Amino acid sequence: MIGKDRRILVIGAGPGGIISAYQFREAGYTDVKVLERDGDVGGTWQRSRYPGLSCDVMIHAYSFSFNLNPSWPRSYASQPEILEYMRDTVDMLDLWPMIHLNTGVSSATWNDDDAEWVVTTTTGETLVADIVISAQGMFGEVKWPDIAGRDSFSGELIHTGEWPHDLDITGKRVAVIGGAASAVQSIPEIAKLADTLYSFQRSPQWVLPKEEFPIPAEQIEEFRSNPEALQGYRDAIMNYIGPNAPFSNKEILGGAEWAGAVAISVIDDEKTREGLTPHVPWGCFRPLFSNDYYPAFNRPNVELITDAIERITPNGIVTADGVEREVDIIVCATGYVVDKFASRIPFTGRNGRSLDDEWVDGPEAYLGVTTTGFPNLFMLYGPNNNAGSLIQMAEYEVGYVLELLSQMDSDGIDWIDPRREAMDVYNAELQQAIAGVDVWHAGCGHYYESPSGKIVTQYPYSMYHYRDSVANPDLTPFETGRK
């Protein structure tokens, strides 16, 4: 089907799904459905609700360009504030009629003869679409630690990405396994309520101070009365974030490690301070930011454990030195499976090819959006598109898809599929650039990599570089077809 009545199916009602719904409607497309597996919009911001969860991008940059919020009270926002903003955006822009909650996707299969996607849902429906947008993002599947005896624990065993609404940690003995983002954000908050908090960490990571500050009331009032002032404020932040590729800038790297070392120095106990001091360059792991994390280890009820975990028992955790620490709650702050992207759903493309099989050596895509053999499948925040503000990157990606569809409509084309040569050339150049980012190869064994060892999440250039890469596209890199 060609034109504004193309049947468009969007998977996920997180930031990418909200952007898609709005931008496709504004472009005049009349048949757009957004399928959301959960009972609310917001994506990871409604699934994850652990104490202390917040965004590590300044909130005026982590906002929809088409619905700037003049009332953000601080430079960074918390999970409840962001989720409320997502819901308010859907309300204000009247996107609810396009969104189907509690409707996940079980499978999607490309029909070569009819040039369309046949999609089955978790509610038992079969839908047909000309265009599928995978707006699943990176954080849709939690990663549990592979520790012996995990299922034997008789207390509460939870993951930060699936924090129960009714969990009460007051006066409890709590173990937190992991030392990355969710641990850094949750430990200071858990420590305020718990009787005892054991922080089990395998590898210390740099945690830099967060430039968090309140937005003055008079400035908020100016933003409310003068949209140009709000836009100018956001533009100033974007013009700082946008052109920077921080992991390749030696000055930024050095300054970050200095700031991290200063932050660590607030820890009173020398052994704890040494245990939290990284031995890898900043940027080797995902950058982390907090003003409360290191001071939390000065609390008398917080203890750092650096010995390896040997097993979990019904009563607690045993480390390699044979010591068992009994706890009431184990919190697995062990992140997400981030190397699957669209393949978390079984996609079957041309000639019966499985996306899982195509990506056996690691996910790859052309400009992070399309992948060979899967016509009219467009990914938001797909392989190697992690840079800057997720929301701004998704807006670039949706704009790119709309430009491609406009050209397809003009040329009477039903489907496009990136040519293998174009995708291979793009990814070869991308991986060459990634090879030049030294800190990503400093032996951290981080989640940037697929099991094959290829870095599949990171974009090695700046956010503005990506913006320019997807501007003014043409159909030359694609095989095209008509029904």
What confidence tens digit (pLDDT) does each residue in 135-191 have? 998 888 999 999 999 999 999 999 999 999 899 999 999 999 999 999 999 999 999
What confidence score (pLDDT) does residue 1 get?
63
Q: Please give the share of the chain, as a percent, with pLDDT higher than 90.
A: 91
Is the per-residue pLDDT at 6 higher than 90?
yes
User: What is the spatial distance between Cα 370 and Cα 132, in angstroms, rounded to a whole number?
Assistant: 11
Is the per-residue pLDDT at 245 higher than 90?
no
pLDDT band at 446 (very low <50, low <70, confident <90, very high): low
User: What is the spatial distance between Cα 264 and Cα 274, in angstroms, rounded to a whole number?
Assistant: 9
Q: pLDDT tens digits for 311-342? A: 999 999 999 999 999 999 999 999 999 889 99
All structural domains of the chain, each given as residue ranges with its CATH number in brackets, are 7-141+337-481 (3.50.50.60), 150-205+244-332 (3.50.50.60)
Is the per-residue pLDDT at 111 higher than 80?
yes
Q: Which residues contact 26 (CB under 8 A, 6 or more apart)?
A: none
Predicted structure pTM score: 0.96
Contact 445, 290 (CB under 8 A): no
Helix, strand, coil % (nearest 5) of the chain?
35, 20, 45
Contact 394, 19 (CB under 8 A): yes
**Backbone region of residue 271 per phi and psi (left: phi > 0; alpha: psi in -120 to 50; beta: other values):** alpha
Instruction: State the greatest distance between any 2 C-alpha atoms of the chain, in Å, as a whole number.
Output: 70
- Residue bearing the bigger pLDDT, 248 or 427: 427
Q: Calculate mean pLDDT across residues 63-78.
A: 98
For the stretch 224-243, what's the b/e string if a residue is b when 16 or more beta carbons lie within 10 angstroms of its beta carbon? eeeeeebeebbeebbeebbe
E strands, 241-386, where?
Answer: 288-289, 302-305, 309-312, 316-319, 324-326, 329-332, 347-348, 377-379
| Number of alpha helices (DSSP H) and beta strands (DSSP E) in the chain | 13, 21
What confidence score (pLDDT) does residue 445 get?
66
Q: Calculate mean pLDDT across residues 366-391.
A: 96
What confidence score (pLDDT) does residue 249 get?
81
Pairing of strands 478-481, 415-418: antiparallel
Is the per-residue pLDDT at 478 higher than 90?
yes
Is the per-residue pLDDT at 452 higher than 90?
no
